[in-house]
Structure 1
Amino acid sequence: MPPSRTPSPPPQPRLRDVAAAAGVHPATASRALNPATRSQVNAETARRVQRAAKDLGYRPNPIARSLKTSRTDTVGLVIPDLTNPYFPPIVRGIESELEPAGYHAWIVDTHDDAERERARIESLRSRQVEGLIVATARLDHPYLAELHAQGMPMVLINRRVQGLDIPCVTLDDEAGVTLAVGHLAGLGHTRIAMLAGPADTSTGAARTRAFRHAVHDLGLADDPALIVETGHFGEEAGAAGLRTLLDGGARFTAVVAANDLLALGCYDVMAERGINCPEQLSVVGFNDMPFLDRLGPPLTTVHVPHHVIGAEAARMLLDRIADPGRPPRSTLLPVSLVVRGSTAAPGR
Structure 2
Amino acid sequence: MKKSISNRDVERIALNAKLTPEQVRAALAMRNDVVEEVHARVTGSAQELNYSITVRDRVAMAAGTSVATVNRAYRPDARHLVRPQVLHAIEREAYRLGYKPDPVAQSRRTSHSSVVAICPEMRHLANPYHTALIRALSEAVTERGLTPVITPIPAEWQLPDIAQSSITGLVILWEGERTDQQVAALRAAGREAVLIGYHDNLPSVAPDWTDAYEQLTHRALDQSYTTLHLGYFTERRWSASARLEGVARALQTRSQQPRIRLWIEPDFDVQRASDCLEAHDMTGAAQLLRELSRTPGSLERRPRLDLNGIIEELCVDLRAHGPDERTALLGYSDVVIRRLMQQLSQSGHQVHLGEDLGLAGHDNLEPMLNDINPVLTTIDYSLADMADRAMTTTGQPRSFQRVPTQVIVRESL
* TM-score bin (small chain): 0.7 to 0.9
Secondary structure, in 3 states, of the residue corresponding to 1:66? helix
Equivalence for 1:181: 217
Equivalence for 2:353: 277
Instruction: Return 5+ residue gaps in structure 2 as ranges.
Output: 1-43, 265-301
Equivalence for 1:160: 198
Asked whether the 8 Å contact 2:210–2:244 carries over to 1, the reply is no
User: Relative contact order, CA 8 A, sep 6+: which one is greater?
Assistant: 1
Match of 2:46, as an amino acid? S
Match of 2:182, as an amino acid? Y
Q: Deviations over 1:110-155 (max 9, x none)?
A: 35x3x32x1x433532473222100133497233234235432010
Equivalence for 1:170: 206
Q: 1:101 is matched with which residue: 144, 151, 159?
A: 144
Q: 2:167 is matched with which residue: 105, 128, 144?
A: 128
Q: Matched residues in 2 for 1:40 and 1:243: separation?
A: 68
Match of 1:245, as an amino acid? D
Asked whether the 8 Å contact 1:106–1:124 carries over to 2, the reply is no
Equivalence for 2:403: 333
Q: 1:84 is matched with which residue: 127, 142, 145?
A: 127
Asked whether the 8 Å contact 2:326–2:356 carries over to 1, the reply is no
Distance apart, 1:193 and its partner CA: 2.3
Distance apart, 1:285 and its partner CA: 1.0
Q: 2:109 is matched with which residue: 50, 58, 68?
A: 68
Secondary structure, in 3 states, of the residue corresponding to 1:314? helix
Equivalence for 1:151: 190
Equivalence for 1:3: none
Cα root mean square deviation, aligned: 3.8
Distance apart, 1:84 and its partner CA: 1.3
Asked whether the 8 Å contact 1:278–1:342 carries over to 2, the reply is yes
Asked whether the 8 Å contact 1:195–1:241 carries over to 2, the reply is no
Distance 1:335 1:40, change over 3 A: farther
TM-score (norm 1): 0.75
Distance apart, 1:174 and its partner CA: 0.7
Distance apart, 1:12 and its partner CA: 3.0
> After the TM superposition, which of the residue ranges 16-25 and 197-206 deviates more from structure 2?
16-25
Q: Report whether the alignment pairs 1:227 with 2:262.
A: yes
Q: Report whether the alignment pairs 1:261 with 2:335.
A: yes
Greater Rg over alpha carbons, structure: 2
TM-score (norm 2): 0.65
Asked whether the 8 Å contact 1:36–1:100 carries over to 2, the reply is no
Q: 1:195 is matched with which residue: 231, 238, 244?
A: 231
Match of 2:247, as an amino acid? F
Distance apart, 1:38 and its partner CA: 8.1
Secondary structure, in 3 states, of the residue corresponding to 1:286? coil
Equivalence for 1:346: none
Equivalence for 1:301: 378
Q: 1:240 is matched with which residue: 312, 330, 345?
A: 312
Distance apart, 1:243 and its partner CA: 2.8
Q: Deviations over 1:302-337 (max 9, x none)?
A: 1122222122213434xx3xxxxx554221111001
Distance 1:137 1:127, change over 3 A: same
Asked whether the 8 Å contact 1:77–1:133 carries over to 2, the reply is yes
Q: Deviations over 1:207-246 (max 9, x none)?
A: 133224423432333534x223587797435423423532
Q: Matched residues in 2 for 1:40 and 1:196: separation?
A: 59
Identity of aligned residues (%): 21
